[in-house]
Amino acid sequence: MQFEAPHRDALYDIIFNRRDVRRDFLPTAVPDDVIQRLLTAAHHAPSVGFMQPWDFIVVKSPTTRAKIKQGFVAANEASAKLFQGERQDLYRSLKLEGIEEAPLGICITCDRSRTGNVVLGRTIKPEMDLYSAVCAVQNLWLAARAENLGMGWVSILEDQVLYETLNIPEHLDIIGYFCIGYVKAFQISPDLEQFGWQNRRPLAAAIHYEGWQQDS
């Protein structure tokens, strides 16, 4: 298949308009066929040795989400204390999850033992399976945006909370917990930029031609 300009433009629109969404969620349920499309997109991510090390745990129950939220609250309090003075005040003012507001949660795990010990492409760099699972995250994020669904990554959470609440087998690694739902509006720029936490770095500062230059 040869893609034309409208396909290309649509993909770039999705990439540039994807946001980490933690506020403005609507309670509208995400239909099962939409969830299936999202997970199919995630499942088509690249993976080292074609390991497909991910699993997807779909969470809809408000009771389960309330338990996960409790875990966030504890982790967020501990995290806030790591910042000092005004920075801590700013941290505390940020909305960093939408666990209870978003009607859908998805936990993505990584089975590092899937397909055996010696995996094509992971022989030298063992972390490649984890990176593969993160590729599934990004597919999910972009597919969600294409469905006009907001999605937010919640990493301010002890893994143990997810192992216990979601009954996740110990041999799986936890990649992340994601809040998903329709939203009132998508923000144009990242919340962390809007609220003065961190600006986008200029692209030029991130590009290095022919190797790392002394002054970069």
Q: How far is CA 141 from the centre of its chain?
A: 7
Q: Is 187 exposed, middle or buried (0-12, 13-18, 19+ CB in 10 A)?
A: middle
Could you say which DSSP state residue 173 is in?
E
Taking CA atoms, 18 is separated from 6, 153, 216, in Å, by 18, 12, 29
Residue 22 interacts with ligand FNR (CB under 6 A): yes or no: yes
In 10 A of CB 138, how many CB atoms? 14
Among 153, 165, 172, 183, binds ligand FNR (CB under 6 A): 153
Minimum gap (Å) between residue 131 Cβ and ligand FNR:
12
Position closest to ligand FNR via CB = 190
Minimum gap (Å) between residue 49 Cβ and ligand FNR:
23
107 to 146: interface string for ligand FNR, x by CB under 6 A:
----------------------------------------
Minimum gap (Å) between residue 153 Cβ and ligand FNR:
4
> For residues 35 and 144, which CB has a smaller minimum distance to ligand FNR in the complex?
144
Letter for the amino acid at 183? V
